[in-house]
Amino acid sequence: MNDASIIELLRKRDERAIAVLREKYGRLCMYTAGKILAQREDAEECVNSAFYDIWAKIPPEDPGDLKTYLCRIVRNKAIDKLKYNSAAKRDPQLCVSLDELAECIPDSRGAEPTVSELAGLISDFLRMQDENQRRIFIRRYWYGDSLGEIAGKFGINERTAATNLFRMRKKLKEYLKKEGYDNG
């Protein structure tokens, strides 16, 4: 069943929509949550909660890309769960990748972009990049893959992956600065 049909089932409040969503995207959602959370039960909780959110939000929301919309909800729930579980402790793998990206992103002081504006700028930047570079960037900063995992997926060594990411972050920082957002 395609995404438009699933969204239509959700609009009609047909409970089959959740079963179809689970069948079509359940593994991807578990993978997304599992990259952030160590406990399978926590990942399952986030996925189930995301399915509930989809049920509650459609309608009135109309996601343009159901897969991305669902993965974003799962990822946000997993990050929230990680924060809750670890309170003062933080997952070093996720923190390293987010800290790397933080050096490019404007802080929240002053007249800085909203999250949606910043997300739009990053999306625009990524669309201008080579497909392989874009995929490496997304694997690192969206899915939280380690350099070793990225190297394995793309058939490169870890050093090459690190260099590619460093260059992409530098380009992103320059792009954001050109767009009027400087991180100081």
In tens, the pLDDT along 53-69 reads 999 998 888 888 999 99
Which of 68, 86, 104 is the last residue in one of the domains?
86
On whether both 142 and 169 belong to a single domain, the answer is yes
On whether both 173 and 102 belong to a single domain, the answer is yes
Half-sphere exposure of 35 (CA within 13 A, CB side): 22
On whether both 60 and 17 belong to a single domain, the answer is yes
User: Residue 109: pLDDT band by 50, 70, 90 thresholds?
Assistant: very low
Which of 70, 86, 102 is the last residue in one of the domains?
86
User: Residue 71: pLDDT band by 50, 70, 90 thresholds?
Assistant: very high
Beta carbons within 8 Å of 70's beta carbon, 6+ residues apart: 21, 25, 29, 50, 54
CATH classification of the domain holding 49: 1.10.1740.10
Q: Tokens standing for 70?
A: 């669902």
Q: What is the pLDDT of residues 138-171, one digit of tens each?
A: 888 888 888 999 999 999 999 999 999 999 999 9
CATH classification of the domain holding 163: 1.10.10.10
Which residue range is the domain that position 17 belongs to?
3-86
Q: Which of 75, 118, 108, 107 is nearest to 94 (CA)?
A: 75
**pLDDT for res 41:** 92
pLDDT at residue 113 tops 90: no
Does the pTM surpass 0.85? The reply is no
**pLDDT for res 84:** 80
Number of structural domains the chain divides into: 2
What percentage of the chain has pLDDT greater than the value 90?
A: 55
pLDDT at residue 184 tops 70: no
